[in-house]
Amino acid sequence: MKEFWNERYAEAAYAYGQEANDFLKAQEIGAALKVLCLAEGEGRNGVYLAKLGNEVTCVDYAEAGLEKTKTLAKQNGVEVTCVCADLGQMNLQAETWDLIVGIFAHFPKSVKEHIWPQVYAALKPGGQLIMEVYDQEQLSFGTGGPQHPDLLYSVDELQLLLSTNFQHIQIEKVYREVHEGAYHNGASATLQVLAVK
């Protein structure tokens, strides 16, 4: 799969565009936060968050994506820290992040079960999780996202993967138009998550 992503990111265009995800942009996000973007690919969300004045770390295992993240950051006059790592192996440090972001972070079951349960502990008290991912139903839309059902999510699955200890957690299934670069285009079924530790 890593080869698949490196090939996609070898294209000159940004696969999901250079604009941040709409759901992320719709949130009120402060400045001077320590932010972790999981599976951040070419960095459009991380760069957006850095431009708000945050200290951003982007993790992905695709080197080609992280190279484009660095280029995008430079073009926008901001810095982001890029970490090349497999989220199926990575351990998140406890109580470190004010905000964790997972936009279209799709993985096989073993990776999902390794990384998502760590998010609660990795957030500082009061820290926030913002996620948007494709729902299982997205397969019938054919407008982007993974082609294998195991890589998609459902509300029930996310409830199991994310801790129930959050002060507040909202997991909402949404039907909306997604237009992000060449690969996310059209009517879609997504899951939007907002949680506060």
Which residues make up the interface to ligand SAM (CB under 6 A)?
1, 5, 16, 21, 39-41, 44-45, 60-62, 65, 86-88, 103-107, 111
Residue closer to ligand SAM (CB basis): 33 or 178 = 178
CA distances from 56 to 36, 47, 83, 100, 133 (A): 6, 8, 11, 10, 20
- In angstroms, the CA 6 to CA 35 distance is 24
Residue closer to ligand SAM (CB basis): 1 or 10 = 1
- Tell me how far, at minimum, the Cβ of 189 lies from ligand SAM, in Å: 15
- Tell me how far, at minimum, the Cβ of 103 lies from ligand SAM, in Å: 4
- In angstroms, the CA 26 to CA 89 distance is 31
Question: From the centroid of its chain, how far is CA 92?
Answer: 15
Tell me 21's DSSP state.
P
Which residue is closest to ligand SAM by CB?
41
Q: Which residues pair with 128 in a beta bridge?
A: 99, 196
Residue closer to ligand SAM (CB basis): 54 or 126 = 54
- Tell me how far, at minimum, the Cβ of 83 lies from ligand SAM, in Å: 9
